[in-house]
Structure 1
Amino acid sequence: MAAAPHPAAPAILAAPVPLPGAFLRAPIAHRALHDRTAGRPENSPAAFRAAIAAGYGIECDVQPSADGVPMVFHDYDMKRLTGLPGRIAGRTSAELGATRLLDCDEGIPTLAGMLALVAGRVPLLIEIKDQDGAMGPAVGPLEDAVAAALEGYAGPVALMSFNPHSVAALARAAPGRPRGLTTSAYAPEDWPLLTPAVRDRLREIPDYDAAGASFISHEAADLSRPRVTDLRAQGAAVLCWTIRSPAAEAEARRIAANVTFEGYAAAIPA
């Protein structure tokens, strides 16, 4: 029996919200300004504080705890960043807050805690990690929880996800917030858990309009893709990930309006 086609993102009623200009000025620190040798692991409060002090924007990732609280954490599994086995979604927010990140004395932060820390001082680009497992439609609770955490937050913030269904869910939960798609070349070696059909479909960014997006954050090595050029010509703001040197940044800026970077001190325009 043939596999069912990958579902397109549902059309939504919320209009796209333009990406604020603040996201197109200072470079955006990938998972905040992290440096484990300096006691600032990725997505840690210390890395957030360093990015704020340097005047960079901040990109961060959100995963749910067992009790549905948005936590600022990239991986699905805790081992790499905490030394402990198990999925982050298998522990409560209280347990996660008491779990120390490697190379520092701080626990895994909640999104609400990070919002209080940033307090609107720099732009905050929040990536919602896919909870469907195959970039499909089994999403919604995390997007609703993120929208609730953002209620009353007045600083520049934008939301994005690789999963277009997640972006559509964000449009329903937080229609006034800028939304975008995190996009990629979807090389098989980088996305082994996705089927070839899903990779082939998402590679061409077909859900941009249906998801109500106003920007993309695209894989830097794939910025020459014609679809990226077409979206930019149609008015999409183009960001990119992840830049790791000034030379790579200069190359990316031929197409992208701003970069997400790590591992070096990106220059802030005067």
Structure 2
Amino acid sequence: MTPPLHKSFLTVPLAHRALHDITDGRPENSRAAIRAALALGYGIEIDLQLSQDGEAMVFHDYDLGRLTGETGPVRQRTATELSDIMLSGGEEGVPTLSEVLTMVDGQVPVLVELKDQDGALGPDVGILETAAAQAADGYEGPLAYMSFNPESVAAMARVAPNVPRGLVTESFPAGEWSLIKAVVRNRLREIPDYDRVGASFISHQASDLNRSRVLELKSTGAHILCWTVRSPKVEAEARKIADNVTFEGYLA
């Protein structure tokens, strides 16, 4: 049975990587950005990477370089080491998923994107998914998981069957997905795995919402979220199709 998406995911705008603003000391996916979202009642979208010792860490990139003063893969550092690495523009280190969920404590919906650990959007997944499920075990607030990799979503169905799950989807342009084979990109573009993985929603590229497959899924009852909206004008256009938006750079 596919668990239903909590209604708050359809009514409360979701702050992309939390309500970040580096000019105000709130780096993306930081505790400060999460506190800011909570203060204004926004939902929170966050990303997960895996630490060397198997902890689900709230961090977007595979490498530390863009977001911290360190370099090298996130996965080569322990959770303790990552917690001591300051996020650039902020005063705190990389948080764990369990820390973030403790902060949120059910106040707003939390949408968790698991970053692909296979490297080719393939089947070599499971460790991060298990870590995420363990970190959220017993959490009672609105929570949902998603990933670009359908195999990651399928893994979440196995390890956290009662938590709603969805697919992150887009047009998969070659320039942005140069490491992914064309046959994989072409397949994923048509969102063929929605039913197989037991999804209850997609979060689709805002500029591609008129895609026929998106409209087909919407017509059959799928919830349509979208990413990433950066202005009121784009939000108004996206809401013609999407049930909700993931936003940044302004207040939705």
The two structures have a TM-score, normalised by structure 2, of 0.99
Residues 20-70 of structure 1 deviation map (CA, whole Å, 9 limit, x = unaligned): 100011110000000000000000000000000010000000000000100
Question: Secondary structure of the residue that 1:218 maps to in structure 2?
Answer: strand
5+ long unaligned stretches in structure 2: none
Question: Secondary structure of the residue that 2:47 maps to in structure 1?
Answer: strand
Identity %: 61
Question: Secondary structure of the residue that 2:225 maps to in structure 1?
Answer: strand
CA–CA distance in 1 between the matches of 2:230 and 2:74?
27
Q: Which residue of 1 aligns with 2:152?
A: 166
CA–CA distance in 2 between the matches of 1:151 and 1:200?
36
Once the two structures are superposed, the pairs formed by residues 152-191 of structure 1 within 5 Å of their partners are 152-191=138-177
Q: Which residue of 2 aligns with 1:118?
A: 104
Q: 1:27 aligns with which of 13, 17, 31?
A: 13
Q: Please tell me whether the aligned partners of residues 225 and 244 of structure 2 are also in contact (alpha carbons under 8 angstroms).
A: yes
Structure 2: which amino acid aligns with 1:265?
Answer: L
Question: Secondary structure of the residue that 2:157 maps to in structure 1?
Answer: helix
Q: Which residue of 2 aligns with 1:53?
A: 39
Q: Which residue of 2 aligns with 1:130?
A: 116
**How far did 1:158 drift?**
0.4
Does the alignment pair 1:100 with 2:101?
no
**How far did 1:260 drift?**
0.1
**How far did 1:174 drift?**
0.3
Once the two structures are superposed, the pairs formed by residues 1-270 of structure 1 within 5 Å of their partners are 15-266=1-252
Question: Secondary structure of the residue that 1:81 maps to in structure 2?
Answer: coil
Question: Secondary structure of the residue that 2:226 maps to in structure 1?
Answer: strand
Question: Secondary structure of the residue that 1:82 maps to in structure 2?
Answer: coil
**How far did 1:182 drift?**
0.5
CA–CA distance in 2 between the matches of 1:16 and 1:144?
19
Residues 57-110 of structure 1 deviation map (CA, whole Å, 9 limit, x = unaligned): 000000000001000000001000002110000100000000000011100000
Q: Please tell me whether the aligned partners of residues 145 and 164 of structure 2 are also in contact (alpha carbons under 8 angstroms).
A: yes
CA–CA distance in 1 between the matches of 2:173 and 2:237?
21
Q: Please tell me whether the aligned partners of residues 69 and 86 of structure 2 are also in contact (alpha carbons under 8 angstroms).
A: no
CA–CA distance in 2 between the matches of 1:63 and 1:20?
24
Structure 1 consecutive aligned stretches of length 4 or more whose deviation exceeds 3 Å: none
Question: Secondary structure of the residue that 1:50 maps to in structure 2?
Answer: helix
CA–CA distance in 1 between the matches of 2:218 and 2:86?
41
- Give the number of equivalent residue pairs: 252
